[in-house]
Amino acid sequence: MTNVLGTNWSGNHAYRAARIEAPASVSDVQDLLRGATAVRALGTRHSFNTIADSADLLISTELLRAEPVLDAEDRTVTVGAGIRYGDLAAQLQESGWALPNLASLPHISVGGAIATGTHGSGNRIPSLAASVAALELVLASGEVLQLRRGDPDFDGAVVSLGALGIVTRVTLDIEPTFDIEQSVFERLPFAAVESNFDAITFSAYSVSLFTTWQDPDVLDQVWLKRRASVDAAAPSDLFGATAAPADRHPLPGISAVNCTAQMGVSGAWLDRLPHFRLDFTPSNGEELQSEFLVPRQHAVAALRTVRGLADRIAPLLQVCEVRTFAADSLWLSGAYGTDAVGLHFTWLRKQSDVEALLPVLEAALAPFAARPHWGKLFSADAAALERVYPRLPEFRALAARLDPERVFVNEFLERTVLPA
């Protein structure tokens, strides 16, 4: 079927491809690739840059949603790449299973999230891509390639930016279902973050810090997501931050009706690990996003640097979120080889102003080996990215071998990863 081109999720990019097709099977994908010269995969349109656009054909994965296949013995589930995490989570929960973590939005597709290194939060929990045990992709030649964890090309192919082929199926690690209690604390002194960053981020299974940088001496909110059967009881005071008296939205003054339940009320993992509910609009209107991932040992120094730019950041910012995640071995992951801290910026829809600020912010974070999130706005070019992604040369060799005609290379990849 042919779809209307349209825009990405936030509306800041209108797709320029000549056409969009939505295949429902692997054979449909193979048919579309036959003779194609410029192709990109398109998931749930949650990228804020041009990573998912093409000079010719976009292949939407929205219909690649084969019924999940559970393997209780191996503790895995195999799914179509187009399934949304929220929909998969509901099906897993019905069978008594869970994923280790979820991103803040359950509305994103499995294939798109892993391809860009998307993550949730939790000191001991790696990115969503690190849960991939196997994947199937269709190469430009039409060949179906299947890779499993431990295969020579596997670590290069998971966070692939769509540069290797169209991912059609993914196998994910699962575990028995569990419950989460979510609590929010307000007005955490920045001095407490400097002195107690590890203690704060280890205070629950998943922790997120939010601030507008309007008051550089205070971080506005801390969201604690506890596994009640494992984690210590929620504190009454969190290093000077006090418990919120009611449910909160990350943005000040916005109703929490779209957010997952808080106030320490226990609920299933899928209803607490995301910040936003699957059945509601997941954002406060139009926005832009950037994120920079720094090795954990630089977390406090990087936060001090961002705080030093607060007077320039705050006028363009809706909210900044700080999250942590564990190291992995995936070549283009933001946590490759290091536990990482994500400094996430949800901007106002002022693209020219944001794009003018990004080089300043990136230069300030450069001493901390900051890696940009692949699906969000950043200004770094291929030379800068090679300095922070040490396996990038090997990824280029892998892409040249699997896609020698550069069918899956677009202008974004030429600028950032695969220069001509």
The set of residues, in sequence order, having a beta carbon less than 8 Å from that of 298 and lying 6+ positions away, is 341, 368, 369
Q: Give DSSP secondary structure letters for 90-146.
A: HHHHHTTEE-S---S-TTSBHHHHHHTT-----TT---GGGGEEEEEEE-TTS-EEE
Please determine, for residue 281, whether its predicted confidence score (pLDDT) is greater than 70.
Answer: no
94, two tokens: 């019905």
Please determine, for residue 2, whether its predicted confidence score (pLDDT) is greater than 50.
Answer: no
Please determine, for residue 5, whether its predicted confidence score (pLDDT) is greater than 90.
Answer: no
- Residue 261, classed as helix, strand or coil, is coil
Q: Residue 4: its pLDDT value, please?
A: 60
- Residue 223, classed as helix, strand or coil, is strand
The set of residues, in sequence order, having a beta carbon less than 8 Å from that of 398 and lying 6+ positions away, is 153, 156, 157, 164
Mean pLDDT of the chain: 95
DSSP letter for 407, please: T
Q: Domains (ranges, CATH) in the chain?
A: 69-177 (3.30.465.10), 179-372 (3.30.70.2520)
> Do 136 and 146 touch, CB atoms closer than 8 A?
yes
User: Which of 104, 123, 110, 160 shows the shortest CA–CA distance to 344?
Assistant: 104
Q: Residue 230: its pLDDT value, please?
A: 87
Indicate the length of the chain as a whole number: 420
CA atoms of 184 and 209, how far apart (whole Å): 10
Q: Residue 321: its pLDDT value, please?
A: 98
Q: By percentage, how much of the chain surpasses pLDDT 70?
A: 98
Cα angle 309-311-314, degrees, rounded to a multiple of 5: 95
Q: Give 174-226 pLDDT, tens digit per residue.
A: 999 999 999 999 999 999 999 999 999 999 999 999 999 999 999 999 999 99
User: Which of 85, 64, 67 shows the shortest CA–CA distance to 22?
Assistant: 64
Q: Residue 163: its pLDDT value, please?
A: 98
**pLDDT band for position 28 (cuts 50, 70, 90):** very high
Q: Residue 286: its pLDDT value, please?
A: 82
Cα angle 305-389-53, degrees, rounded to a multiple of 5: 95
Q: What are the φ and ψ backbone dihedral angles of 314, each rounded to 5 degrees? A: -55, -40
State the amino acid at position 49 in one-letter form.
Answer: N
DSSP letter for 281, please: -
Q: Residue 282: its pLDDT value, please?
A: 60
Sole residue written with tokens 């609920």: 267
Residue 43 CA, chain-centre distance (Å), reads 13
Write a three-state SS string for 384-404.
HHHHHCCCHHHHHHHHHHHCC
Please determine, for residue 392, whether its predicted confidence score (pLDDT) is greater than 60.
Answer: yes
- Higher-scoring residue by pLDDT: 280, 360: 360
**pLDDT band for position 232 (cuts 50, 70, 90):** confident
State the amino acid at position 139 in one-letter form.
Answer: L
Q: Alpha carbon of 318 to those of 14, 260, 369: distances in Å?
A: 23, 19, 25
